[in-house]
Amino acid sequence: MPRVTVHRRAHFNSAHRLYRKDWSDEKNAEIFGKCSNPNFHGHNYELVVSLTGEIDKETGYVFDLGKLKKIIKEEVEEPFDHKNLNIEVEEFKNLNPTAENISVVIYHKLRRIIPSHLDIEITLYETPRNFVTYSGK
């Protein structure tokens, strides 16, 4: 049976600050630059969730994209949209909310729900030119 990848695009706006609590303000500024602004900064994140698997013989789907839309809304958009990730999102209380870490957190939130026979890949655009991809490896 052929393996096919389906994609669902989503969007959320969040603020964050890149910094390490155990570093001085000077070192944080040196490493993270303006992204370490103590007053935070924001992004209009674009998220692409890709699921790969065999086409179901009965439905013709790899996965129902309507269900995927609902899962993304509940697991990502509602908890992250218009939030300060450092302050309001539990996963980032002690984890630097870089695009890399955000994509890994999203992956694990979805992996709990998406059937295990499907491969998941997360692509997260922090800006139109800066993006990361994570597939659990």
Which sequence positions are flagged as catalytic? 35, 82, 126
**Buried (b) or exposed (e) across 32-49, using 16+ Cβ within 10 A?**
beebbbeebeebebbbeb
- Alpha-carbon gap, residue 67 to 49, rounded angstroms: 12
Pairing of strands 41-54, 83-84: unpaired
